[in-house]
Amino acid sequence: MTGTWRDAFVYLSPDYDTSKARYPVLYLQHGGGEDETGWIRQGEANFILDNLITGGKTKPMIIVMANGYATRAGYVVPDLTGKPFGSPEFMKVMQERMGAFEDDMTQALIPFVDKTFRTIPDRDHRAMAGLSMGGMQTFHVTFDHLDLFSYIGGFSGAGNPFLTGNKFDVKTAYNGDLADPSAFAKRVHLLWIGVGTNEPERMKSGLESLHTSLDAGGVQHVFYESPGTDHEWQTWRRDLKDFAPRLFQPAAASR
């Protein structure tokens, strides 16, 4: 897909061309400094999914990998030289670009994919995950649109609160969507968070804190630790290998 801002790569299940079936869709986002080619060139997502699907370990699916750098027409990114990550100026730009990406994905990309490919176009058959920056985008988009998604994955990245240093409050975060764990579990079939054990301390402790807060709040989720890996592709390949088989399964198999 080519749009005004970005491109997207689409992975089709090995049996797509020989079948008339419809398929669930995973929207899989890259991290900062990468683009829509990252999950194929470095993440080897196509090989991972080919092996999982042909081995009967995961449901056949479509994967859409989009360029995450969306910018609204006319918006000029200000000079952030000397502005630390987490500063008000930095966060304002991040929120603006997150919003542009959210609109582009929900208003353009998803309708395009559902029109072009044999998808099952409902929330029970739509997932989103991403690494680092893509994980933040995933949590931003999915929690704003739980009418569109029921599977959520953050690979070394999740919501903004733990990055900004604000305490994560299960009762108030994401407009209170997590406040009632039972109701949330009925809406979201899988909430998945992963981190490498050797990742930078701020990243690792932030995700561990998020996991602890979710546990304390009784929110069902999966927390996966990749042994001995840093903020790197080996962590995210392992994340995908654990995450994908949990998708589009009966609820009990996703826990």
For residues 247 and 51, give the distance between their C-alpha atoms in angstroms, rounded to a whole number: 15
Choice between 251 and 55, residue whose per-residue pLDDT is larger: 55
Burial readout 10-22 (b: 16 or more C-beta within 10 A, e: otherwise): ebbbeebeeeeee
Using a 10 angstrom Cβ sphere, with 0-12 exposed, 13-18 middle and 19 or more buried, the burial of residue 132 is buried
Choice between 205 and 163, residue whose per-residue pLDDT is larger: 205
What is the pairing mode between strands 62-66 and 8-11? antiparallel
What is the pairing mode between strands 151-155 and 190-196? parallel
- In this prediction the pTM is 0.90
Q: Is there a contact between 73 and 4 (Cβ–Cβ < 8 Å)?
A: yes
Give 130-188 pLDDT, tens digit per residue.
999 899 899 999 999 999 999 999 999 887 554 555 578 888 888 899 999 999 999 99
Amino acid sitting at position 106: T
SS3 content of the chain, % helix, strand, coil (to 5): 45, 15, 40
Residue spans of alpha helices (H) in the chain: 38-41, 45-54, 88-104, 110-116, 133-144, 161-164, 173-176, 181-187, 201-216, 233-243
- Provide the 8-state DSSP code for 5: S
pLDDT value, residue 95: 73
Mean predicted lDDT score pLDDT of the chain: 88
For residues 209 and 50, give the distance between their C-alpha atoms in angstroms, rounded to a whole number: 34
Taking the alpha carbons of 191, 196, 197, 200 in that order, is the dihedral positive or negative? negative
Q: Is there a contact between 197 and 229 (Cβ–Cβ < 8 Å)?
A: yes
pLDDT value, residue 239: 98
- Which position has the token pair 């859409």? 64
For residues 148 and 146, give the distance between their C-alpha atoms in angstroms, rounded to a whole number: 5
Choice between 140 and 22, residue whose per-residue pLDDT is larger: 22
Question: Both tokens of residue 87?
Answer: 């500063």
pLDDT value, residue 91: 66
pLDDT at residue 252 tops 50? no
Architecture per CATH, 8-254: 3-Layer(aba) Sandwich (3.40)
Domain boundaries, the chain: 8-254
Query: How much of the chain exceeds pLDDT 90, in percent?
Result: 67
pLDDT value, residue 168: 80
